[in-house]
Amino acid sequence: QQQVKQSPQSLIVQKGGISIINCAYENTAFDYFPWYQQFPGKGPALLIAIRPDVSEKKEGRFTISFNKSAKQFSLHIMDSQPGDSATYFCAAKGYSSASKIIFGSGTRLSIRP
Amino acid sequence: DVKVTQSSRYLVKRTGEKVFLECVQDMDHENMFWYRQDPGLGLRLIYFSYDVKMKEKGDIPEGYSVSREKKERFSLILESASTNQTSMYLCASSFDGLGGANVLTFGAGSRLTVL
């Protein structure tokens, strides 16, 4: 039972292009949606996060777009660089501090020089 | 720099062996977690702990147990390793307090191969 569905599983983008990774969730109790970035040989690290009271959050070249009615959110990487090549996980969490973070299946992103 | 340290990066064990994966964090975090990472399945929660000597089952606890005798240390135990437990294991921690539970700090992972 997958509560957070992520696509695509893998993605190849040319340097300078826009990378887009999509996620959908089912549980309307989720109220925190982070994205984690994982480089080879490293553990995942928090990249950017959004709450459902806003439709977009931007940090540098990384933007989360959030559609509450469709229960979907996406990560956009503008001007993608080879250093962005990594695995990206979307996730969701409920309001309670005891609520667990639920991860998507991951997207392996490769940026071609 | 804050750290979650997993003692073994690579382990090779035989079917039926008892396996210990150790994790230590130096951030005085209350909460600790063990995840398993498999291609196409993402990160799946095995066990977690909100306090010393406390443990809670995650989504896939079968075949695993945990121990948390000290706040900074959280161990994952495979009582009798099986080939389907070949995977990458990730330890993480988080702190209580405003927004703290929302952010996981991960270790670098322990890749276990069971032959």
Q: pLDDT (tens digit, 9 = 90+) per residue, B28-84?
A: 999 999 999 999 899 999 999 999 989 999 999 999 999 999 999 999 999 999 999
**Cβ atoms of B111 and B8 closer than 8 Å:** no
In tens digits, chain A (113 residues) has pLDDT values of 568 999 999 999 999 999 999 999 998 889 899 999 999 999 999 999 999 899 999 999 999 999 999 999 999 999 999 999 999 999 999 877 677 899 999 999 999 99
**For residue B92, what is the nearest residue in chain A, using CA coordinates?**
A43
Report residue B95's pLDDT band, with 50, 70 and 90 as the boundaries: confident
Q: What is the pLDDT of residue B53?
A: 87
Nearest to B103 among A46, A89, A105 (CB): A46
pLDDT at residue number A94: 86
* CB pair distance less than 8 Å for A105 and B102: no
Distance CA A111, CA B82 (A): 37
- Spatial separation of the C-alpha atoms in residues A83 and A17, rounded to whole Å: 13
Could you tell me what percent of chain B has a pLDDT over 70?
Answer: 94
Q: In whole angstroms, what is the distance from residue A41 CA to residue A39 CA?
A: 6
Cβ contact B4:B71 at 8 Å: no
Number of domains in chain B: 1
| Strand, coil or helix: A113 | coil
Torsion sign across C-alpha atoms B103, B22, A41, A72: negative
User: Under an 8 Å CB criterion, which residues of B touch A?
Assistant: 4, 35, 39-45, 48, 50, 58, 90, 92, 96, 100-109
B75 and B23 Cβ atoms separated by less than 8 Å: yes
- The residue of chain B nearest to residue A42, with distances taken between CA atoms, is B108
Name the fold adopted by A4-112: Immunoglobulin-like (2.60.40)
The one-letter amino acid at A66: F
Q: d(Cα A41, Cα B37) in Å, to the nearest integer?
A: 13
Q: Which domain holds residue B110?
A: 4-97+105-114
B2: confidence class by pLDDT, cuts 50, 70, 90: low
Q: How far from chain centre, in Å, is Cα A59?
A: 13
For residue B84, what is the domain's CATH number? Answer: 2.60.40.10
User: Domain segments of chain A: what residues?
Assistant: 4-112
Give the three-class secondary structure for A84. Answer: helix
